């Protein structure tokens, strides 16, 4: 049986998380193409394509060291505030569109199949969820979360 040190454990977790983000990207791309070409559900495909973009940003944020990310988006800077505004608004738009699509599906008494508004609702809710994850990751990246020994070292995780 292996005995991993603390640094070894952190590296294993780091690479597992990068693998999971890559797997999520592949799964959402396949889902988006499935909804677009097989079911002709453009609302769901749009939601899933936006999710792919958001997971790509989260992948990039995870790949950067905390120090580098904090240097690009310092606490209280205009860049950080704009980041929050854009992704929180995108999250609210995703949830709002998801609720609107759910109501539309209920009004039309649709079944849960690939062409229904309910699948579109799921795509929009996922868009809201991943936009929230981006905002949360940026919020959790503050000076107190950067250990002194990890400053300027990569890989680091948020």
* pTM recorded for the entire structure: 0.88
Average pLDDT, the chain: 91
User: How far apart are alpha carbons 65 and 23 in whole angstroms?
Assistant: 21
| pLDDT tens digits along 47-70 | 999 999 999 999 999 999 888 899
Delimit the domains of the chain by residue range: 7-150
């Amino acid at each position: 049986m292996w005995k991993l040190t603390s640094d070894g454990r952190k590296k294993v977790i780091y690479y597992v998380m990068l693998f999971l983000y890559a797997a999520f990207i592949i799964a959402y791309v396949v889902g988006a193409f499935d909804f677009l070409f097989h079911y002709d559900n453009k609302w769901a495909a749009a939601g899933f394509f936006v999710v792919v973009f958001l997971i790509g940003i989260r992948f990039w944020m995870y790949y950067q060291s905390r120090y580098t990310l904090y240097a690009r988006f310092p606490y209280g800077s205009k860049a950080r505030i704009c980041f929050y505004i854009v992704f929180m608004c995108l999250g609210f738009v995703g949830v709002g569109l998801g609720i609107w699509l759910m109501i539309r599906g209920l009004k039309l008494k649709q079944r849960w199949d690939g062409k229904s508004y309910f699948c579109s609702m799921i795509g929009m809710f996922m868009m809201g969820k991943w936009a929230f994850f981006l905002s949360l990751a940026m919020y959790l990246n503050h000076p107190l979360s950067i250990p002194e020994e990890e400053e300027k070292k990569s890989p680091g995780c948020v």
